[in-house]
Structure 1
Amino acid sequence: MTIKEVAAAAEVSVGTVSNVLNRPNAVSDETRLKVLDAIDRLGFVRNAGASLLRGGRARTIGLITLDIRNPFFTELARSVEHTAREAGYLLVLCNSDENRTQEKRYLELLEEQRVNGVLISPVNERDNTLQWLRDRGTAVVLLGHDRRSFCSVRVDDVSGGELAADHLLDLGHRRLAFVTAPLTIAAYNSRLTGVRRALARRGLPDDACEVVEVGSLGTAAEGRVASDILVDDHPEVTAAVCGNDLLALGLIAGLLRHGIRVPGDISVVGYDDIELAEHSSLPLTTIRQPKQELGRVATNLLIEEGQRGAAHAHQQIVFQPEFVLRDTTAAGRRSAPRRRTEGR
C-alpha cells in the first residue's frame, strides 16, 4: 500500500496526505479526518525509512535527563511521553548521569537518527553541541534552564528557595543548612540563591545557612551522608532545606538513625514534590514543581518548532513553584538539642 493509493481513496493530492502524516496542523480537520479514514480502511503504514532517505526527519523526539533514577525526571518523562504520543510522536529516553561526555554522545546519536527534536536538561547549557543541533535543523528545548536563543521551560527556583527558607524562618529557625548536589547544576544554585535572599530580607548573613554539598546526583544515599556531616560538624543547625526530595528523604532517614527527631529536633524541607514525598512514613514538607505542565508545555513547544522551523518564535516559559506543608517542619528551638547517636 502506497501514499498514492491513500490519496486516491481519500480523493486528495499526495501532498495533502503527506501533510496529514507530517504536518497535520497544516490541514483542515475535515480533510485530515478523510485522509485518516482512508489510511484505516486501506491498512496503510507509513515508511519512515523512506522519508529519512528523502532528507526528512523521523516522528521521534529525544528526551535527555540528568538522572532517570530521580522520580522527578521519571514523572516528567511520563508527561512528555503522553503529550508526544497524543501528537503521533515516538519518545526516545536518554540518561546523561550528569556526565558531559555521555550527554554529548547522546546528542550525536539522536542527530544520527534524524529525530525531530530534543528536550534536554543539560549538564552544561552553554555546550556548543546544542547550537550545532539547531544549525542542522533539529529543534531543541531546554528544561530547567533559560537561554534566549532557545525555547526553554523551567520553574523559578530562586522563588522556590525563598519559599522554603521563609517557612523555616517564620517558624523561628535561625541556623539553617542547605543540603545539595553539586552547585554547578543551575537548579541547585538557584535554590541556594533563594535561601540566601530570604535570609538577607530578615537581616541575617549568608553564613546563617551552612552549605552541605554531597555526591553528584542528589540521591537518598547522599542525603544520608549529609546527616553524618550535620551531626558531626554542624550541631547548631535546627532546620535544613534540601535541593531535592530524595536528598531530604535520605537526610531524614540518617537523622533518625542518629536518634535525632524530625521535626522535633531538626525540621526538613524538600524540593520537587515527588509522589514518595506525600506517601513516605513521615510525609515531607516540600516545594512542588508542576511536573505535568512542564512536560506538556515543553513537548508542545518542541513539536511546534520542528513543524515551523525558522518561522517559530522562541519562548522562555517560567512556572512558579508551590509550597506544600506536611509533617517534617515545626517551630524552631532557641538552641539546638544535644546530638544523640545511640542509633548510629
Structure 2
Amino acid sequence: MVTVGIKEVAQRAGVSPGTVSNVLNRPERVAATTRARVQQAIRELGFVRNGSAATLRAGQSRAIGLVVLDVGNPFFVEVARGVEDVVSDRDHAVILCNSGESPGREARNLRVLAEQRVRGVLITPADEDLSLLEDLRERGVAVVLVDHPATGDVCSVSVDDVAGGDLAVTHLLDRGAERLAYVTGPLGIRQCTERRKGARRALRTAGRPARALEDVVVPEMNASGGRLAAEKLLAGGLPDAIFCANDLLALGVLRALSQAGVRVPDDVALIGYDDIEFSSAAAVPLSSIRQPTYQLGKIATELLLEECDDPRGHAHQQIMFQPELVVRESSR
C-alpha cells in the first residue's frame, strides 16, 4: 500500500509542503481558497496525518486520559459517553484506562498516560493518596477529579454521596424497616464510605441506633459481589431492607434472593445506587439513587480542556450535584 504524505498533497494542490502543514496545524494562517484546495487534495488522496510525529513536534498529544474504577460498570460507560461527546467536537481522542479499584493498577495507568504525553487526565481515584496526580500536574498535565470531590487548586465534578445514602435509608425507614443492611465494596473506596455516612445520618435523624444498620462488605462492587453478600445475609438472618452501594451489587442481591425464594419487596425491601439503565428492566424493577452520570463526564471534560487551553487564566471549580431518589417496585 502506498503511503500518501504531505509532499504528495502539496503537489496535488499546487502549494508548498509548508502550506499543507499550516492547513493541518494553523489553518487560520492560510487563505480560504488555498485552504479549500488543500483540503480537497487531502480528500482525493486519502491522506491521514501522522499523529505521532505531530505529538513529538508539539511535545503533547491531542489525547486525554480517562481512568475509571470499573470499565464494566454501566455508570462509567455513561460517564465516558459524556467525555467522548465533548472531545470528539474538539478533534481530540480519549484513552480509557481501568484501575479495577486497585491503587497499584491506577499508578501504572497514570505512568502510561504520562508517557503518551496526554493533554490532561480525568480520573475517579482508587487511591485517596493523590500525590501521583500532583506529580502529573507539576509536569503540566491538567487533572480533573470525576465522581470525587476536591478542594483548592484542582477541579472536580461529583455528586453528594452522603446525601444519597441519607435519601436511600430514609426511604427504607419511612416504609417501616427496622433492621437494615448496607451491602458495599471496600470501605477504602470513598463512594462506599460516603454513602455509609449518609445511611448512618438517616438513622440518627430518625432516632435509631447505629446497630440497626449491618455492614456487609464484599471485595468487588459487581453482581458477583452482590450474590456473595446475599449468601452472607441468608446464612445470618435476613434484615427488613437492604441498601446497596451501587446497582450492580443490588442486581446480584436481587437474583440471589429470588433464587432462594425470598420475595422482594414483600420479604425484603431493596434499593441500589446509580440508577443504571438495567435497574428499571430488572425482574423486579429496582429502586435506586440517580446521579447525573452523563453530565459528570461532560462537564468534567469541559473543565479539563478549558484548563489545557488556558492554564494561567483558568479558575478551578469544584462542582457538586445533588442525587435523586427513584422509587420502583423493589422498595414500594
Task: Give the TM-score of the pair, scaled to structure 1.
Answer: 0.85
User: Whole-Å Cα distance in 1 between the matches of residues 178 and 35 of structure 2?
Assistant: 64
Instruction: Identify the residue that residue 340 of structure 1 maps to in structure 2.
Output: none
- Are residues 1:134 and 2:134 paired? no
* 8 Å CA contact retained: 1:125, 1:145: no
Q: Find the residue that maps to 2:53 and give its secondary structure.
A: helix
- Are residues 1:202 and 2:206 paired? yes
Q: Find the residue that maps to 1:140 and give its secondary structure.
A: strand
Instruction: Identify the residue that residue 82 of structure 1 maps to in structure 2.
Output: 85
Instruction: Identify the residue that residue 117 of structure 2 maps to in structure 1.
Output: 114
Q: CA deviation at 1:32?
A: 11
Q: CA deviation at 1:90?
A: 0.7
Q: CA deviation at 1:294?
A: 0.8
- Are residues 1:191 and 2:195 paired? yes
Judged with a 3 Å threshold, the aligned counterparts in structure 2 of structure 1 residues 32 and 292 are, in CA distance, closer, same or farther, namely farther
* 8 Å CA contact retained: 1:272, 1:286: yes
Q: Find the residue that maps to 1:299 and give its secondary structure.
A: helix
Judged with a 3 Å threshold, the aligned counterparts in structure 2 of structure 1 residues 69 and 150 are, in CA distance, closer, same or farther, namely same
Instruction: Identify the residue that residue 92 of structure 1 maps to in structure 2.
Output: 95
Q: Could you tell me which amino acid in structure 1 is paired with residue 39 of structure 2?
A: D
* 8 Å CA contact retained: 1:151, 1:316: yes
Instruction: Identify the residue that residue 250 of structure 2 maps to in structure 1.
Output: 248
Unpaired stretches in structure 2, ≥5 consecutive residues: none
Q: CA deviation at 1:313?
A: 1.3
Instruction: Identify the residue that residue 287 of structure 1 maps to in structure 2.
Output: 289
Judged with a 3 Å threshold, the aligned counterparts in structure 2 of structure 1 residues 35 and 295 are, in CA distance, closer, same or farther, namely farther
Q: Find the residue that maps to 2:296 and give its secondary structure.
A: helix
Q: Find the residue that maps to 1:67 and give its secondary structure.
A: coil
Among candidates 168, 172, 175, match of residue 168 of structure 1: 172
Judged with a 3 Å threshold, the aligned counterparts in structure 2 of structure 1 residues 203 and 40 are, in CA distance, closer, same or farther, namely same
Q: Could you tell me which amino acid in structure 2 is paired with residue 162 of structure 1?
A: D
User: Whole-Å Cα distance in 1 between the matches of residues 182 and 281 of structure 2?
Assistant: 23
* 8 Å CA contact retained: 1:161, 1:190: yes
Which ranges of 4 or more aligned residues in structure 1 deviate by more than 4 Å? 1-6, 12-17, 31-39
User: Whole-Å Cα distance in 1 between the matches of residues 72 and 317 of structure 2?
Assistant: 29
Judged with a 3 Å threshold, the aligned counterparts in structure 2 of structure 1 residues 38 and 139 are, in CA distance, closer, same or farther, namely farther
Equivalent positions of 1:1-344 (< 5 A) are 18=25, 37=36, 40-43=39-42, 45-148=48-151, 149-215=153-219, 217-235=220-238, 237-330=239-332
* 8 Å CA contact retained: 2:195, 2:245: yes
Q: Find the residue that maps to 1:311 and give its secondary structure.
A: coil
User: Whole-Å Cα distance in 1 between the matches of residues 31 and 320 of structure 2?
Assistant: 34
Judged with a 3 Å threshold, the aligned counterparts in structure 2 of structure 1 residues 150 and 37 are, in CA distance, closer, same or farther, namely farther
Judged with a 3 Å threshold, the aligned counterparts in structure 2 of structure 1 residues 38 and 75 are, in CA distance, closer, same or farther, namely farther
Q: CA deviation at 1:306?
A: 1.2
Deviations 1:15-54 (A, max 9, x none): 797456xxxxxx7xxx998897566334275443333223
* 8 Å CA contact retained: 1:141, 1:301: yes
User: Whole-Å Cα distance in 2 between the matches of residues 229 and 287 of structure 1?
Assistant: 24
* 8 Å CA contact retained: 2:143, 2:304: yes
Deviations 1:145-182 (A, max 9, x none): 12223111111111111111111111111211110001
User: Whole-Å Cα distance in 2 between the matches of residues 232 and 33 of structure 1?
Assistant: 74
Q: Find the residue that maps to 1:313 and give its secondary structure.
A: coil
* 8 Å CA contact retained: 1:84, 1:91: yes
User: Whole-Å Cα distance in 1 between the matches of residues 32 and 309 of structure 2?
Assistant: 20
Determine what percentage of the aligned residue pairs are the same residue: 44
User: Whole-Å Cα distance in 1 between the matches of residues 131 and 71 of structure 2?
Assistant: 24
User: Whole-Å Cα distance in 2 between the matches of residues 311 and 69 of structure 1?
Assistant: 37
Instruction: Identify the residue that residue 23 of structure 1 maps to in structure 2.
Output: none
Judged with a 3 Å threshold, the aligned counterparts in structure 2 of structure 1 residues 58 and 233 are, in CA distance, closer, same or farther, namely same
User: Whole-Å Cα distance in 2 between the matches of residues 238 and 187 of structure 1?
Assistant: 24
* 8 Å CA contact retained: 1:288, 1:324: yes
The total of aligned residue pairs comes to 317
Judged with a 3 Å threshold, the aligned counterparts in structure 2 of structure 1 residues 178 and 18 are, in CA distance, closer, same or farther, namely same
Deviations 1:67-88 (A, max 9, x none): 1111111222122122211221
Q: Find the residue that maps to 1:328 and give its secondary structure.
A: helix
* 8 Å CA contact retained: 2:23, 2:38: no
Q: Could you tell me which amino acid in structure 2 is paired with residue 226 of structure 1?
A: A
Judged with a 3 Å threshold, the aligned counterparts in structure 2 of structure 1 residues 33 and 136 are, in CA distance, closer, same or farther, namely farther
Q: Could you tell me which amino acid in structure 2 is paired with residue 290 of structure 1?
A: P
